[in-house]
Amino acid sequence: MKDQHFNANAGKFQDPLKTADGQERAEVALSHPETLWFNTGTLCNITCANCYIESSPDNDALVYLTAPEAEDYLDQIGERNWPIREIGLTGGEPFMNPATLDIIEAALARGYEVLVLSNAMRPMQRPRIKAGLERLNAAYPGKLTLRVSIDHFSPEVHDLERGKGSFAITLDGMRWLRDASIRTAVAGRIAFGEGEGDTRAGFARLYAENDLKIDAQDPGITVLFPEMDMNVEVPEITTACWGILNKSPEDVMCSSSRMVVKRKGAARPVVLACTLLAYDEEFEMGHTLEEAERPVRLNHPHCAKFCVLGGASCSA
């Protein structure tokens, strides 16, 4: 279903081929596939105030992906000769899914790097999960990274988003990852009114205070996303924009990645163009990686604001 939340963009992003003023809409080819994402399911142990995918303890719109389903897509990578270097797992909270460790192991065994997006809270801190992560990190050294979601470097702002006490629990998880020598990155947000420099300085203080060996200045290690204000008007991206903006379609995330999801009630998973557009059926590309090789028309406000203009990327 087409997203209807963007009142500021009324009349825009309707025709996949043309913009509202009749210009040819930009498209992005899958020119260099580097990351295949698996959404392990939208269930999460917490409900965040501004979760882009509306994860919660009750939202099972995307159901748990099974290990055999994920392995089928891992096999398809070889069949299609995609030059994938990284498998990403996102949710929801991936460690809610009982098959997550098996999916991680299947990807590592095939030689891929694995990036898991987690809040590092209670689901990750269960003894079975900790033991599994330690085992996989030892068996495949340097191949596993956990990117921990911390909305802000201050507990007050973070807890407003994720619930009272969540900051402290996440830090407990991060200290365990540190002690287990598991490579850790962070995904944060640039809060309204803050500059990127101030935000990175705040994270640097947080890391130093907790003896966390994380680089606050490296944008691939401390990944900062803008606030997702759904009411901001954004321009549509035309074919002429590449030259005007001095950008290439190869800079946009859908030139290098796809995401596999399984919808509630569906017989099998589907491949999506983007990690940010899990519910928009226009961005479903089919059941197979072969079908997902077609270009993506940038017919959504997220395409403009976060990927073309903001330069967002979910990969490491």
| CATH numbers and ranges of domains, the chain | 31-229+248-295 (3.20.20.70)
Q: Listing from the earlier edge strand, what are the strands of the sheet with 144-149?
A: 222-226, 183-190, 144-149, 113-118, 86-90, 35-39, 257-261, 270-272, 284-286
The Cα–Cα gap between 35 and 18 comes to 29
| Range list of H helices, 140-298 | 155-162, 166-179, 196-209, 241-245
The number of helices, as runs of H, and strands, as runs of E, in the chain is: 9, 11
Question: Under a CB-based contact definition with an 8 Å cutoff, are residues 187 and 223 in contact?
Answer: yes
Mean pLDDT calculated for residue range 177-188: 98
> Span 27-56, mean pLDDT?
94
pTM of the model: 0.93
Query: Quick one: average pLDDT of 115-135?
Result: 98
> CA angle, 297 as apex, 292 and 303 as ends, to 5°?
105
Please report the pLDDT score of residue 8 as a whole number. 64
d(CA 170, CA 121): 5
Mind listing the pLDDT tens digit for each residue in 72-89? 999 999 999 999 999 999
Q: What is the DSSP string of 96-156?
A: GSTTHHHHHHHHHHTT-EEEEEE--SHHHHSHHHHHHHHHHHHHSTT-EEEEEE-S-SSHH
Which of 37-41, 90-94, 263-267, 302-306 is predicted least confidently? 302-306
The mean of the pLDDT values for the chain is 93
pLDDT score of 315: 59
* CA-to-CA dists, residue 223 to 15, 19, 84, 245, 306, angstroms: 32, 31, 21, 23, 13
Percent of the residues in the chain that have a pLDDT greater than 70, as a whole number: 94
Spatial distance between the Cα atoms of 161 and 48, rounded to a whole number of angstroms: 5
**Among 185, 298, 213, 288, residue whose Cα is nearest residue 252:** 298
Whole-number Å distance between alpha carbons of 65 and 176 = 27
**Res 314: pLDDT:** 56
Give 52's pLDDT tier (boundaries 50, 70, 90).
Answer: confident
pLDDT of 209 strictly over 90: yes
**In Å, how far from its chain's centre is CA 254?**
12
CA distance 309 to 245: 8
Task: Say whether pLDDT at 67 is over 80.
Answer: yes
How far from 54 is each of 212, 260, 276, 277, CA to CA, in Å? 29, 17, 11, 12
Report how far residue 24's alpha carbon sits from residue 17's, in angstroms, rounded to the nearest whole number: 6
